[in-house]
Amino acid sequence: MHGARAENGPFEAARKAIWAAPPNEVIAVAADVLGRHGCADTEVLMVDYRQMFLVPTVSAGDDVSVDNTPPGRAFASQRTIRDDGEGLAHLPLTVKGERIGILSVRLPDGGPLWLDDFAGVLARALKIADQATDMYRRLRRRTRLTLAAEMQWDMLPASAYQASELSFAGQLEPAYAVWGDAFDWATSGERFTLTVSNGMGSGTESAELTHLAISALRNARRSGGDIVEQAELADEALFGRHRGERLVDALLLEFDLSDGRVRAIDAGSPRITRLRGGATDRLGFEPQMPLGMFGDTRYVPQEFAVEPGDRLVIVSDGVHAARSPAGVVYGDAGLLQAMRATRLQDPPEAVRTMVRHYVGFHEGAQPSDDAVIVCVDWTGRDAGAGKDAGDG
């Protein structure tokens, strides 16, 4: 810690105060701690479910757009932004790549040297506190979630992750009314496993179907099974419940973190595109049966390799098959345009921008299907060996 070394005592006291706070009082304690160290007008802005606005949690102020505002620039760039006109500093609150929001404080005297480190502690405390109170989830909602969306968001893992080998991000749309589209991921030892899935139908029936599929995939994965065993258990579980009448499309990927080899099972409609240098290629695999079709399907993985600098973008059919009001298919041109336009952005911001582009493509019309967009940047273990895989 850089600033903490200069003021170890005050920082340690501040850190202990945050960790001792009850889950629903973490933000209030943070504001009190910073106030005693010369910071004024402390505000914690949490990003809403759609990642379009930053929602105040201390004051009764208006929501702040992520686009074209100082707090929004701090969120998008993941750098501290100082608004000299207002005397404010806006610091990202991020945990292992997952962007929680922004800490904004007024610093008349420059503030404590350990402010950056304090923001890291606050972000981790909020991440943990979110599991023990509904307070932060209520604050993040700019409108009520549908029941299906509630089910999906409760099931999802973190929306982003960063390690030395790779960086990942995913997002659902419509964020407040999604039903069957989802993603899941986990890292353990030498593997990073990623699944993008799409349960057929709509509403809570679709959400329940996806929930059963992901629970079966997780059960096999957490028992040590690879993606073949995961797919086969999910297929068996879905068939046992719906006898082939309700299916889940899925793309399963298993990254070997040591060398970039990827095993893939294409069991439906999600598509994967690779950006390598200036080239954009859709990766095609031999299609296999959707999960739940027969219950005894034997899935066969295929392999490809990623290289440092590669970006993989995975989308559900709600994205690549979407049509504009004029009947133009988004996957024919719009998707590639969005991917190329976001090539220099980190995955969380690239996904946020692609979702915004996808929504704009519909020209104000309501999409006919829900959608998921996932982005993975591969750094590689050797290339990322010296990179700090902390909370940046």
* Domain boundaries along the sequence of the chain: 2-140, 147-378
CA atoms of 223 and 172, how far apart (whole Å): 28
Tens-of-pLDDT digits for all 392 residues of the chain? 454 444 578 999 999 999 999 999 999 999 999 999 989 999 999 999 999 999 999 998 899 999 999 999 999 999 999 987 778 999 999 999 999 999 999 987 777 889 999 999 999 999 999 999 999 999 999 999 999 999 999 999 999 999 999 999 999 999 999 999 999 999 988 999 999 999 999 999 999 999 999 999 999 999 999 999 999 999 999 999 999 999 999 999 999 999 999 999 999 999 999 999 989 999 999 999 999 999 999 999 999 999 999 999 999 999 999 999 999 999 988 999 999 999 999 999 999 999 999 999 999 888 889 999 999 999 998 754 444 444 44
Mapping DSSP to helix (H, G, I), strand (E, B) and coil, where does residue 377 land?
strand
Is residue 182 within 8 A of residue 372, CB to CB? The reply is yes
Residue 375 in tokens: 């982005």
Using only C-alpha atoms, the chain has a radius of gyration, in whole angstroms, of 22
Nearest to 69 by CA among 49, 58, 93, 85: 85
The 8-class DSSP code of residue 58 comes to: S
Burial of 156 (C-beta count, 10 Å sphere; 0-12/13-18/19+): middle
pLDDT at 109: 75
CATH of 147-378, one of 3.60.40.10, 3.40.50.200, 3.30.420.60, 3.40.50.970: 3.60.40.10
Query: Among the CATH numbers 3.30.450.40, 3.40.50.1970, 3.40.220.10, 3.40.50.150, which is that of 2-140?
Result: 3.30.450.40
Residue 366: predicted pLDDT: 87
Return d(Cα 293, Cα 244) in angstroms, integer: 5
pTM attached to this predicted model: 0.93
How high is the pLDDT of residue 2? 52
Is it true that 2-140 and 147-378 share their CATH fold?
A: no
Beta-carbon contacts of 196 under 8 Å, excluding residues fewer than 6 positions away, are: 170, 182, 183, 250, 251, 270, 314, 315, 316, 372, 374
Q: Which ranges of 223-306 would DSSP assign to H, the alpha helix?
A: 227-242
